[in-house]
Amino acid sequence: MIKPISGFSKLTKKEKIDWLAETYLKDRPEDVAILRQYWNEDSRLQQLHDEFTENTLSNFYLPFGLAPNFLINGDLLAIPMSIEESSVIAAASKAAKFWRTRGGFKAEVIDTKKIGQVHFNFFGNKEKLKQFFQATKPKLLEAVKPITRNMEKRGGGVLDIKLRDKTAEITNYHQLHCEFETKDSMGANFINSCLEKFAEVFENEAQQYEDFSLEERNIEIIMSILSNYVPECLVRAEVSCPVEELNENKDLNAEDFAKKFIQAVNIAEVEPYRAVTHNKGIMNGIDAVVLATGNDFRAVEAGIHAYASRKGKYSSLTHASIENGIFKFWIEIPLALGTVGGLTSLHPLVKLALDILQQPTARELMKVVAVAGLAQNFAAINSLTTTGIQQGHMKMHLMNILNQHKATEAEKKILIQYFTNNTVTHSSAVEELKKLRNS
């Protein structure tokens, strides 16, 4: 019977691995060897990675790739992407090549407002609470001056604080709904520090507010935390061209392609079962760039999917139309990103990714990420409405199948050539590999 361990975090990395091997891996030396195999030979670099999180045993690698030829607002960029899924970078690159000769991608940041909230219970007269808030608001803003001073020098800071009555949803529940501008920082620590100071001052001031009864003075702070839902931190990216220029597919004329493409998008707008997979494909592109640039892809995912549901039904993040003979395809999404702070100044590959992108500001990175999502979706819908998604995807997946079955370099070369003109499935790849080995 396995017993709980006490003080695991205080063990050395070797001691943690030894305990793991003895307790769960049945002392299999090959498993321990795998953990060690992924350590970086540079001990200082390995220590840096060890200290990114807690109880580190090893490094978990993802491919770091590049999608070139993205023409964005007139600038030709190569976009770094970190992702393990086959065909994502290839699809993005193909879309970039397609649109480079048709005007490229246009992107604009609509707003960069971020949100944090102090959640609290108030037991008393709501009108008196409103009066207290108005009297206290200047003190709240003054209290965070030591925190906001440097951010204000960069043009950011606290934009506003609003009192929100949420008692219709939960008895006695209210919020301080706070708006921030964090410039090139994602701003999580900055926002949370401000919110906690707001809560402290708000609670203390209530204790001294003469118009409150004894019960009303006892405001109960529940929590103070930023929101990853940022519907006013928006970026838009789009592509457009005359319909007749959508002439890449020889088996489908441009007008029919455009109509079929638009209907595929329309289906994702009204059918949640399709919308989830549709948007997952968009996130393939978005997450890959967010991860490569050291940003929080979990926060981005949560915020974007919430945005996709903002009208009460989960729907497509992209939209398409034909107006006066012009095909237009666009995306509008919330993105809270940073290019300073966090991993951006620590992780060597993150710093390299930002160098590749020519040291973008947070606003510029928002545009790049939105474009990557739009490109990914264009490539996916293009495949779905013409050849089907599996033809291209499975050819990219072929290498994974061959590696899984330990194909040699010579075998890979022969089978890649064979499947140039044959349909790839897992079973067909395994069958052809067996034939090759038995010949």
Residues in Cβ contact with 424 at an 8 Å cutoff, skipping those fewer than 6 apart: 390, 391, 394, 395, 397, 398, 401
pLDDT band at 389 (very low <50, low <70, confident <90, very high): low
DSSP H or E run through 374:
helix 362-384
pLDDT of residue 302: 98
Domain ranges of the chain: 8-51, 64-109+235-387, 114-227, 392-438
Q: Which fold has domain 64-109+235-387?
A: 3.90.770
The whole-chain average pLDDT of the chain stands at 94
pLDDT higher than threshold 80 for residue 394: no
Residue with tokens 């006695």: 172
| Topology agreement, domain 64-109+235-387 and domain 114-227 | no
Q: Which residue from 112, 67, 99, 31 is spatially nearest to 337, judged by alpha carbons?
A: 112
The predicted-structure confidence for 193-244, as pLDDT tens digits, reads as follows 999 999 999 999 999 999 999 999 999 999 999 999 999 999 999 999 999 9
User: Is 27 an active-site residue?
Assistant: no
| H or E element, residue 114 | strand 114-121
Q: Which CATH number fits domain 114-227: 2.60.120.20, 3.20.20.140, 1.20.120.1200, 3.30.70.420?
A: 3.30.70.420
Task: Report the predicted TM-score, pTM, of the whole model to 2 decimal places.
Answer: 0.89
| Pick from 186, 185, 165, 167: nearest CA to 175 | 165
Angle between helices 88-100 and 272-292 (to 10 degrees): 90
156 against 438, higher pLDDT: 156
How many helices and strands (H and E) does the chain possess?
16, 10
- CA separation for the pair 330, 107 (Å, rounded): 9
Q: State how beta strands 318-323 and 173-181 pair.
A: unpaired
Q: What is the pLDDT of residue 404?
A: 84
| Active site annotation includes 184 | no
Q: Is the pLDDT of residue 391 over 70?
A: no
The active-site residue out of 18, 31, 85, 179 is 85
Q: Which of 69-73, 261-265, 284-288, 419-423 has the lowest mean pLDDT?
A: 419-423
* Integer Cα distance of 62 and 67 in angstroms: 16
* Rounded mean pLDDT, 401-406: 84
* Active-site residue flag, 393: yes
> Which of 404, 409, 406 has the alpha carbon at shortest distance from 426?
404
Whether the per-residue pLDDT at 390 is higher than 80: the answer is: no
pLDDT tens for each residue of 328-362: 999 999 999 999 988 888 999 999 999 999 999 99
- Whether residue 211 lies in the annotated active site: no
Note the pLDDT of residue 418.
81
From 196, 205, 296, 364, active-site residue: 296
Residue recorded with tokens 């009192």? 163
**Mean pLDDT value of segment 52-59:** 96
| CA separation for the pair 263, 215 (Å, rounded) | 59
